Amino acid sequence: MVIHDNGYIHRDLSTENILVTRENQIKIVDFGFTDEARGRRTALGNLFYMAPEITGDATYNYKIDVWSLGIIVYEMFHQDTPFASRKKFD
C-alpha cells in the first residue's frame, strides 16, 4: 500500500473505511488514526478488525493494516468477521 511506502499506518481499516467508485476503483478513507509506522502501542480502531498486537501491550507496525485487510477479505466471502460473537457482551 502506498501509505506504508511513505512510512505511515492507517490503524483503522474496516469495511466502513473502504469505498468503491463508479469506475470500480477502491478508495481508502478516514485517515484520522493514521500515524508514523515506528513502534506504536496505542490501541485504536475497530475491534472486529484489530490485530492481536494492538489489544496487548506489544509494539506494532504496518502489519496491523495487513491483518485488517485479511479480515475484510474474509468478511467479503463469508458475510461475517472470523471472530464475531453472537453475544452482545462476552
Rg (the chain; Cα; Å): 14
- Check if 35 is active-site: no
Look at strands 35-36 and 8-9 and give their pairing. antiparallel
Question: Which one of 12, 30, 80, 90 is the catalytic residue?
Answer: 12
Please report, in angstroms and rounded to a whole number, the separation of the first and last CA atoms in the chain: 34
Cβ atoms of 22 and 34 closer than 8 Å: no
Cβ atoms of 3 and 34 closer than 8 Å: yes
Q: Which residues are catalytic?
A: 12
